[in-house]
Chains A and B, each alone.
Chain A
């Protein structure tokens, strides 16, 4: 089983739609969680950290469910510029400092 699993998509949605991605992680001791965004042929960039209480940044909302070991990302009012791959990222703790990335979920927002 992969440490971090995501649905690869692609998710094809019209502009203005609301779309949600889930990600599951295998290590219950995981401590830190993030969503990164990666545009085609570019490097990953931090979209947002995910806090236990959930957090929101504009049109983006991230949630963490430790009991079920998944995190989610909700994008409201999708824009064409949201088209990218969204990477779920977990720090597994237990002394590890490296982040483990999922394979990413590709989003294509269509006009």
Chain B
């Protein structure tokens, strides 16, 4: 396992189309996070899973956004009816809950860059 993997790395779509991003976390990590980042800003929290349960959602996550983690392993983030304002880097991160060094520290994937035309 080489880290958090995200696909696709780049996606260009037309306004109104649906897009889906996939995240494969580090295998022993039970927590998975989605963040969004635009130029010049820090990552903004979207949602968080512990195993398959979605435990927290940001107000940023409008009803056009949905995330799943069906078996507590990989996760998908779908954006329906994309808008130009959705253009951003979508970052996935994972961590493990526990004690000791490394616990609760986020490891990020390389991100999926979305461009909505």
Contact = CB atoms under 8 A, between A and B. Distances in A.
Interface residues of B, number: 23
Contact of B106 (A46, A103, A104): A46
Contacts of A32: 104
A101 B109 contact: no
Given A8-B40, A43-B91, A99 B45 contact: yes
B108 A102 contact: no
B48 interface: yes
Contact of A103 (B35, B42, B50): B42
A16 interface: no
- Nearest 4 pairs of A and B residues by beta carbon: A101-B42, A43-B108, A98-B45, A103-B42
Interface of B: 31, 33, 35, 40-45, 48, 50, 55-56, 58, 91, 104-111
Interface of A: 4, 8, 32, 34, 42-46, 49, 87, 91, 96-104
